[in-house]
Amino acid sequence: MPEADGEIVGVLLAGGYSRRFGVDKLVQPLPDGTAIAVAAARTLLAVCPRSISVLRPEQTTLRNLLIDVGVAVHVDAAPARGLGDSLASAVRLTPRAAGWLVALADMPFLDVRTLRSVLEALENGAEIAAPRYRGRRGHPMGFSRRWFAELAGLQGDRGARQFIDDLQPSIVLIEVDDAGVHRDIDTPGDLPAS
């Protein structure tokens, strides 16, 4: 991906194994026929035209779908080691970014206004920002470049979770009216009916 000097880069986390779903959930269609990850990617791209996803080598179908909608895709083994490694890899690939808006590819129901509000919080000086709906923090999360070293050094799912937990007092929470900040797809039953 071309270097994003001074821009906030979108990071679409999409390297998981979909164990609870049974097959690669991210390429499964929503009722309108759009693949789950493509819907999430389009929402992210609407606010971060420069967006990247780190995928495992075997995720060829997903790689092609994401490239087709405009996401820069980097292939390596990082996602196999966990969410933290995947995020770290994306951040290291974009070292001159002003920050990162980190979205999950299994959350296709987010309102674009929610992502824009997190992006604007970063642009207005927040070091870390996230939406809150009905008293509970949700996704996506935004990080300023102040966190480059910490993000670039993340490892495994546990490392990423601990990092976020440690930052709780510093997170600027943006109140939103968007249930999509909590709604992901883990099992076939989470898909909306046609």
Q: Find residue 35's DSSP bridge partners.
A: 29
| Pairwise CA distance, residues 127 & 123, whole Å | 9
What are φ and ψ of residue 111, in 5° steps?
-85, 135
With a cut of 50, say whether residue 33 has pLDDT above it.
yes
With a cut of 80, say whether residue 3 has pLDDT above it.
no
Mean of all residue pLDDT scores within the chain:
90
Q: Which of 12-16, 22-26, 175-179 has the lowest mean pLDDT?
A: 22-26
Confidence of residue 79 (pLDDT cuts 50, 70, 90): low
Tell me what pLDDT residue 78 has: 66
Average confidence (pLDDT) over 145-171: 85
With a cut of 90, say whether residue 182 has pLDDT above it.
yes
Domain total in the chain: 1
Average confidence (pLDDT) over 86-93: 94
The answer to whether 114 touches 54, Cβ cutoff 8 Å, is no
| Pairwise CA distance, residues 19 & 133, whole Å | 28
190 lies in a domain?
no
Q: Which of 1-15, 80-94, 120-134 has the highest mean pLDDT?
A: 120-134
Return the H-helix or E-strand segment holding 161: helix 156-167
Confidence of residue 2 (pLDDT cuts 50, 70, 90): very low
Confidence of residue 82 (pLDDT cuts 50, 70, 90): confident
How far from 128 is each of 31, 47, 147, CA to CA, in Å? 34, 17, 9
DSSP symbol at 193: P
Range of the domain at 103: 8-181
15 lies in a domain?
yes
175 lies in a domain?
yes
With a cut of 90, say whether residue 162 has pLDDT above it.
no
Each residue's pLDDT tens digit, 101-135: 999 999 999 999 999 999 999 999 999 999 999 99
For residue 33, give both structure tokens: 């026929």
Q: What is the pTM of this model?
A: 0.92
186 lies in a domain?
no
146 lies in a domain?
yes
Confidence of residue 53 (pLDDT cuts 50, 70, 90): very high
Q: Please name the residue that has the structure tokens 């002003």.
A: 98
Of the chain, the percentage scoring pLDDT greater than 90 comes to 71
Tell me what pLDDT residue 164 has: 83
53 lies in a domain?
yes
| Pairwise CA distance, residues 53 & 159, whole Å | 19
77 lies in a domain?
yes
3 lies in a domain?
no
Supply the CATH number for residue 88's domain.
3.90.550.10
